[in-house]
Amino acid sequence: MPHAHSCPQLIQTDVRKIANFYAARLQQLCCPRPSFSLVRTVHAHMIASGFRPRGHILNRLIDLYCKSTNVTYARHLFDAIPQPDIVARTTLITAYSNSANINLARRVFDETPFFIRDTVSYNAMISAYSRNGDGCAAVELFCEMGRERLHLCPDDFTFTSVLSGLALVADDDRQCRQMHCAVVKFGTESNVSVLNALISVYMRCFSGSSAVLARQLFDGMLDKDELSWTTMITGYVRRGDLDAAQQLFDGMKEKFDVVWNAMISGYVHHGFTGEALEMFRRMYLEGVVLDEFTCTSVLSACANAGLLQHGKQVHAYIIRMDPTPEPETSLPVKNALITLYSKCGKIYEARWIFDGMCLRDLVSWNAILSGYVTLGHIGDAQRIFNVMPERNLLTWTVMISGFAHNGLGEEGLKLFNRMREEGVSPCDYAFAGAITASAGLGALEHGRQLHGQLIRYGFDSSVSAGNALLTMYARCGVVEAARCMFLTMPCADSVSWNAMIAALGQHGHGTGALDLFERMLQVEISPDRITFLTVLSACSHAGLVKEGCEYFKLMNGRYGIIPSEDHYARLIDLLGRAGKLSEAKGIIEKMPFKPGAPVWEALLAGCRIHGNMELGIQAAEELFELVPEHDGTYILLSNMYATVGRWNDAAKARKAMKDRGVKKEPGCSWIEVSRSVHVFMVDDTKHPEVPEVYGFLERLGVEMRKLGYVPDTKFVLHDVESEQKEYVLSTHSEKLAVGYGLLKLPAGATVRVLKNLRICGDCHTAIKFMSKVVDREIIVRDGKRFHHFKNGECSCGNYW
DNA sequence: ATAGGGTTAG
């Protein structure tokens, strides 16, 4: 291109020649994504040389600015035209549509006088709606075109555009058939693109007959293109009919990359990781180029199956193929890598990928956020959440359930409210998170309210929300409501079964839990590792030692689930509660791996129930070594030493703890305040004060009924009446002991509670109730929070 | 000047 100062020569020649010169320059720039600076240079050159673009040259310039994704420049040019023609207007409509600015596109369309509107401009506007997800508006505009602009004939472009919009909203095939008639009426039924779009719409309808119709159209096509095959195959994949998709795929003579990718992603989406990887292997062996779509799907498959090594191989392949990938094209691949590493527990690698990205989208942020959340790194997750440039429903949901599943129910509920305040409408997963948060707080009333709202939102058939409700009711002690949820759920999955078995087990219905487990096997829902954890617990609480040991053997023997440390811990718990302490010790010695904290905790619990001080101290010492930062062990161990009169060891334990940098002083716990009650006492059935605790609980139950007090949970009444007293005492012991201890305090005393004891749920109810029964004001401090109990009511807030 | 397929986050 000549430099600006050489232009005077050009100006002297024919103006037509100059126009041709610029038309040719602009023509050279034509491509899907022209460079903005080049377009700008040519434009500047025109201005410098005194050439004023008009007509098709101006339109072309507007188009180039639009395609270089600089709609603002295009708009400036457009605004300067006194009466822009239909071509310029259509260009601008398309540009706004491409930048997802549907309202601006519509405004340009509306400002176009009726008499100059043509089919192309309607097509552009219809397609703008379709591409931006508003299928209804696309169909509506198509109808308007037929009603009001009768001289305008819809063409093949019109039908492909409106059909792709219809595909977003059609569920029954009535509208599809109507549109099919219109296609025939306007003679576009032999156009390949229209047929492809029609097949796509029919494939998305619910009825099976529409899929058959689509297949008939497909089979009748003489000139199928790549898109026809892809549409048909992805249609089957979307319907979950992977066999039909595979059959069609196998029948293809020449397979191209897109159908390979469609098959792989279809298998990944429906959870068939093995099939996805097998397709990937075949694709590789047949020498098809593995592009970013392939890699992304395969990485996702590896992430879902936890196949870190396979995923790493793909990662290596990506680096080898494309050492300097374009930032934008490789974005989904990077996102999938973040997910791969975080799902395989490698959060540092995930973060490394994330930090190394020069361009991040919402998916990248959500991927790293959910990585932190699922690994329990709530602090990191919260930091990410706070600095995210944008958020969507998924972001909120992940963070809410992250709080809920990490014991931060209050934060979860607060965030749920904040989300709604910011105008984000919750989905069923968000409700599930909030319900789980309520469950963690023991806030039954709140949970019930959420249940009501959930129904109003129409999410009552959601499996995830149903499971959350089931668990919430169970944890708040309303087993009947949990059972009702379970029975009325339209499609209970293994999570629902596990939750219901757990609910029965936790509330003393051990045999009921085992019956339900047998029923689960009968209806052929495969038990998973969680099922066996639950079943072992149920056996443990019901004292069904023989059955528990049988199931433990069955787990690996019949179902191929290798027992994890948690399973061993449950087994030890089962034996320990039944008093078979030496047997439990024997299993610990023969375990295939080094016993960790959960195993020793289980043994310790057994020793506490049966007063086996010798073994108990041994377990506590092991625990002390493994988790020196755990305050509970420290207090327990020194108390145990004290109980058997080993005062020096008790002092040594406290000192050793202090030396390891544990800042917590013994004086912080309520034990020191009330002196007359010890945690250890509550669990030791041989301890002289235990009958007193039983008596207290029974009196409490009677008083509660007498006063007509309806507690949030059935904690005391239910548990004390059941036969599983040992279990009740060990799960609720600390909470009850706190309550018991509080009664013995001088009036108005401020109490600090053990770190692992949250003032919530059962404990909250108990103290509320007691403040009424004994007519005392009780103030409890729990971290930064304070709870003020008076006359059966409670007000809480931040302490400072 | 206008259309259509395969990718990632719970």
How many Å from the CA of A147 to C1' of B5? 32
Question: Which of A95, A88, A101, A175 minimizes the C-alpha distance to A134?
Answer: A101
How many Å from the CA of A155 to C1' of B5? 21
Task: Compute the distance between CA of residue A240 and CA of residue A206 in angstroms, rounded to an integer.
Answer: 12
Helix (H, G, I), strand (E, B) or coil at A778: strand
Residue A58 burial class via C-beta count within 10 angstroms: exposed 0-12, middle 13-18, buried 19 and up? buried
Q: Which residue type does A560 have?
A: G
The neighbour count for residue A88, using CB atoms within 10 Å, is: 23
Query: For residue A195, which nucleotide's C1' is closest to its Cα?
Result: B4
In contact, A197 and A221? CB cutoff 8 Å: no
Strand B bases near protein CB (under 7 Å) are 1-10
What are the structure tokens assigned to A414, written together?
């607060």
Q: What is the pLDDT of residues A109-168, one digit of tens each?
A: 999 998 999 999 999 999 999 999 999 999 999 999 988 766 889 999 999 999 999 999
Bridge partner list, A780: A751, A787
Profile chain A (800 residues) by mean pLDDT over runs of 10 residues: 49 74 86 85 89 87 85 90 93 92 94 93 96 93 85 92 93 90 93 96 91 95 94 96 96 93 96 94 91 94 95 91 66 95 96 93 97 96 96 97 93 96 96 94 87 94 95 84 93 93 81 93 91 91 87 91 92 89 93 91 79 86 82 69 69 72 38 26 38 57 49 26 29 44 48 35 54 62 54 52
Region of residue A149 (phi > 0: left; psi between -120 and 50: alpha; otherwise: beta)? beta
How many Å from the CA of A176 to C1' of B7? 29
Bridge partner list, A787: A780, A796
Considering only residues 113-132 of protein chain A, which place a Cβ less than 7 A from any atom of strand B? Answer: 118-121, 123-124, 127, 130-131
How many Å from the CA of A35 to C1' of B3? 25
Question: Which of A61, A87, A90 minimizes the C-alpha distance to A76?
Answer: A61
Closest residue (Cα, C1') to B1: A87
Cα dihedral value A407, A410, A415, A418, nearest 10: 180
How many Å from the CA of A613 to C1' of B10? 46
Q: Work out if A86's Cβ lies within 7 angstroms of strand B.
A: yes
Considering only residues 729-788 of protein chain A, which place a Cβ less than 7 A from any atom of strand B? Answer: none
Closest residue (Cα, C1') to B10: A398
Task: Compute the distance between CA of residue A42 and CA of residue A716 in angstroms, rounded to an integer.
Answer: 83
How many Å from the CA of A504 to C1' of B6? 46
Helix (H, G, I), strand (E, B) or coil at A325: coil
State residue A774's pLDDT score: 60
Q: What is the pLDDT of residues A28-46, one digit of tens each?
A: 888 878 888 888 999 999 8
Task: Compute the distance between CA of residue A125 and CA of residue A545 in angstroms, rounded to an integer.
Answer: 71
- Could you give the residue ranges of the DSSP H alpha helices within A489-564? 494-506, 510-522, 529-542, 545-559
State residue A775's pLDDT score: 64
What are the structure tokens assigned to A298, written together?
């395969």
The neighbour count for residue A80, using CB atoms within 10 Å, is: 9
Q: Work out if A225's Cβ lies within 7 angstroms of strand B.
A: yes
State residue A761's pLDDT score: 37
The neighbour count for residue A414, using CB atoms within 10 Å, is: 14
Question: Which of A425, A423, A417, A378 minimizes the C-alpha distance to A398?
Answer: A378
In this structure, chain A runs to a length of 800
Task: Compute the distance between CA of residue A65 and CA of residue A74 in angstroms, rounded to an integer.
Answer: 5
Q: Work out if A397's Cβ lies within 7 angstroms of strand B.
A: yes
Q: Work out if A112's Cβ lies within 7 angstroms of strand B.
A: no
CA distances from A253 to A200, A265, A366 (A): 22, 21, 40
Task: Compute the distance between CA of residue A137 and CA of residue A152 in angstroms, rounded to an integer.
Answer: 19
How many Å from the CA of A149 to C1' of B5? 32
Closest residue (Cα, C1') to B7: A293
The neighbour count for residue A227, using CB atoms within 10 Å, is: 16
CA atoms within 13 Å, Cβ hemisphere of A494: 11
A773 backbone dihedrals φ, ψ, rounded to 5°: -60, -45
What are the structure tokens assigned to A605, written together?
């619990």
State residue A579's pLDDT score: 84
Q: Work out if A303's Cβ lies within 7 angstroms of strand B.
A: yes
Task: Compute the distance between CA of residue A639 and CA of residue A621 in angstroms, rounded to an integer.
Answer: 13
Q: Which residue has the tokens 């998170």?
A: A433
State residue A330's pLDDT score: 84
Dihedral of alpha carbons A342, A346, A347, A351, sign: negative
Helix (H) / strand (E) element for A399: namely: helix A393-405
Question: Which of A448, A438, A381, A430 minimizes the C-alpha distance to A407?
Answer: A438
CA distances from A388 to A360, A385, A433 (A): 10, 5, 20
Task: Compute the distance between CA of residue A262 and CA of residue A231 in angstroms, rounded to an integer.
Answer: 10
